[in-house]
């Protein structure tokens, strides 16, 4: 009763506009909650039952967490994230800063905007097919260019270090424009008065960026980090087409490993247990990021 009374008190304390806004947003939030909650509950049911539908408790979780291939896939996913995330954020930040400070023509900015959208809207399956042709050993464009310089062919997708680098390059090519577009929009929110005042005071470009522009970009950087971490954890299509997870387990990232467990080896219980563990782990991770790196910090 105390919780109900407190909820009613908080609702009554809100203004008319706030209550109207909450009523309008309730259907959207309710839909999102249903879409996110129902699959999680179904995965939880599959994770605690066997193929016959009998309750087995934590048995599937024990099997999932005791498989050494899981930790190998986590290791490869971490290495992949360590390559693509800093590269995309730094390159995207650099490009957005360069365009913001040097390109003044609205037409040229629009052209750059459209060009940046192209890699993002291409389906990842198509991206994987195209780059597989690029990295092909005999007729790939990279090896053709190497042959024209007198060098031998390189097996880009058959060597473990090069396969990781190739898949990371594809991800960087496709998603750096996303980082650029988000951060470029953030630069437009920086008050011009503050920038002009800093320039009058003799502030260098680095000082202007660090003390004026970066605080406005911090929430967007956090948002980009959230999205890209989620994308890295579910990266599948392009990598599956490029390498299939090989050579060996070099590019068998967490999503590919879960796919193999659930569909190739038909162990839906273990795959569902992995999905639940990943969901819980990412929820904790995001909570820690929000707590220790608040978006509104100045």
Q: Is residue 240 part of a domain?
A: yes
Q: Is residue 164 part of a domain?
A: yes
Nearest to 88 by CA among 216, 182, 207: 182
Q: Is residue 11 part of a domain?
A: no
Per-residue pLDDT tens digits for 138-158: 888 888 888 888 777 888 898
pLDDT at 246: 86
Domain membership of residue 165 as a residue range: 68-292
Max Cα separation, the chain? Answer: 81
Q: Is residue 35 part of a domain?
A: no
pLDDT at 155: 87
Q: Is residue 101 part of a domain?
A: yes
CATH, residue 143: 1.10.3720.10
Q: Is residue 246 part of a domain?
A: yes
Whether 296 shows a pLDDT value over 70: the answer reads: no
**Ramachandran region, residue 246 (left: φ > 0; alpha: ψ -120 to 50; beta: rest):** beta
Q: Is residue 19 part of a domain?
A: no
Name the helix (H) or strand (E) containing 204.
Answer: none
Query: Model's pTM, two decimal places?
Result: 0.86
Domain count, the chain: 1
Helices (H), the chain: 2-13, 16-47, 59-65, 68-102, 106-121, 124-134, 141-148, 160-187, 192-200, 205-208, 214-233, 237-242, 254-259, 268-292
Whether 82 shows a pLDDT value over 60: the answer reads: yes
Q: Is residue 147 part of a domain?
A: yes
pLDDT at 298: 47
Whether 211 shows a pLDDT value over 60: the answer reads: yes
Q: How far apart are CA 3 and CA 289, in angstroms?
A: 29
Per-residue pLDDT tens digits for 31-41: 888 887 888 88
């Amino acid at each position: 009763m105390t919780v109900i009374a407190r909820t009613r008190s908080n609702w009554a304390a809100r203004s008319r506009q706030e209550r109207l806004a909450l009523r309008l947003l309730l259907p959207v939030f309710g839909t999102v909650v249903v879409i996110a909650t129902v699959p999680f509950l179904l995965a939880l049911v599959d994770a605690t039952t066997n193929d016959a539908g009998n309750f087995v408790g934590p048995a599937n979780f024990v099997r999932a967490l005791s498989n050494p291939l899981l930790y190998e896939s986590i290791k490869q996913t971490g290495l992949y994230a360590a390559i693509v995330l800093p590269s995309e954020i730094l390159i995207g930040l650099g490009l957005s800063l360069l365009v913001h400070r040097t390109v003044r023509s609205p037409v040229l900015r629009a052209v750059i905007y459209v060009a940046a959208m192209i890699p993002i809207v291409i389906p990842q399956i198509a991206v994987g097919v195209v780059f597989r042709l690029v990295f092909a050993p005999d007729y790939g464009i990279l090896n053709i260019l190497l042959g024209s310089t007198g060098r031998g062919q390189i097996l880009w997708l058959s060597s473990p270090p090069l396969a990781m680098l190739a898949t990371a390059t594809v991800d960087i090519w496709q998603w750096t424009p996303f980082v650029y577009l988000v951060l470029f929009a953030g630069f437009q929110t920086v008050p011009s008065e503050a920038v002009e005042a800093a320039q009058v005071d003799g502030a260098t470009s680095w000082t202007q960026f660090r003390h004026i522009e970066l605080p406005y970009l911090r929430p967007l950087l956090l948002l980009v980090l959230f999205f890209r971490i989620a994308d890295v954890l579910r990266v599948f299509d392009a990598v599956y087409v490029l390498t299939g997870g090989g050579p060996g387990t070099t590019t068998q990232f967490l999503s590919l490993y879960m796919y193999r467990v659930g569909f190739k080896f038909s162990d839906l219980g273990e795959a569902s247990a992995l999905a639940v563990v990943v969901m819980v782990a990412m929820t904790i991770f995001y909570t820690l990021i929000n707590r220790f790196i608040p978006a509104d910090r100045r």
